Structure 1
């Protein structure tokens, strides 16, 4: 069996290091390089807490993808860097699997066009936890019957973007089935700016950032005399790894960019 050759960007971060441990567990994957601003030139095995790989750290994606032969880039960095990495991977014919959130619609459209031009697979997912993907799909179903809805997302205090990519994606999916309405009293006003959260198509999104949290989201629906709450908690970053592996397996057979893991999950039924 020929192994899938993987590069991990953001490998020294919490999510990136978890991805390295995931690769170590799967015989059909092999790590060929890491991209990170730290540990340049070092082997992964030389960095405390990381698995025993001979693959080397690079600090430049272009140099890395020129030096090594790779099939897949896993990017777990930040929106600005992640976009650069994804574009570079596509240029080099490497399939991106991207868990970095915060890309704009224009950036996703640009990357999608580049993938289509090269007939190259890519997966960008706001959330790789399969339970979170199901939470988003269930919310889309519920919004048809419960148009009054608010989203509360909670993450660790080192997360840079707010609201989270998962919350935005949830709101986009809800918008597809929800009858548009502006919630709350028509004369409502905020005595402190931002008290009611962000307004997305008339629904509200609230972001919580606290140490000790990982990734959590509640979607609260309300109707006359009843409430429905759809909730998902990622208690450890390991929860995202099954979705990343699932995406790697499927991206090898794609010839376009797929935004959202749910498209692969639904097609896999």
Structure 2
């Protein structure tokens, strides 16, 4: 009971102060983060901690951040990032290497391996696979390699984009079918709710007539029926709310897929040879 009261009070506070409520949930989210892992991931992306958006948001929300774990994770990530092997992998994936995180006598070897990775990525033999991987070209290829790389990349990218459009169109069709079913279910539940509410309105009118006729026994009997109906109405209203959320979620998926398809279609002309 006390927990229910506390939650109800918090919900009321949230309805009054949306900003404070948002900060509360953000703090809860931040305090569940494994800060060692997060710091490591930031370093492996080639970023400094002060540029990390998640960390900025958590500090703004005044969350309890384990700074020691964050720092240790970041340093562990830097040790992995600043190696010739990692630098080569980054280049071979078609990504830039951010040397600002790295220092020491091995830096020249690290940069040389990244350059080798870039050359392998930008080779004509890899161009179609690079495009078909789904990863967008980051303009990393030297001019002398780019000329032979881009035609194959565009062919591979077009295959990827065409496949994505087809897949997302299929997803939309499936969602449309599900949405029609859910909307039909929602309409049926609405009809059931309206029927229950109509019955309650009729009973309330009968109770009023019984009271006017000074028949408290009849009025009491009708009260019992109204109370039972009110419970059914509450359950049915919860079902309506649940169905509404399902329909809204499906519509959001539709909108997201439509936006993604539109973006892919807009890209197609640039991939034509």
Q: TM-score, normalised by structure 2?
A: 0.21
More helix by share: 2
Q: Which has the higher contact order (CA 8 A, sep 6+)?
A: 1
In proportion to residue count, which structure has more strand? 1
Higher Rg: 2
TM-score (norm 1): 0.21
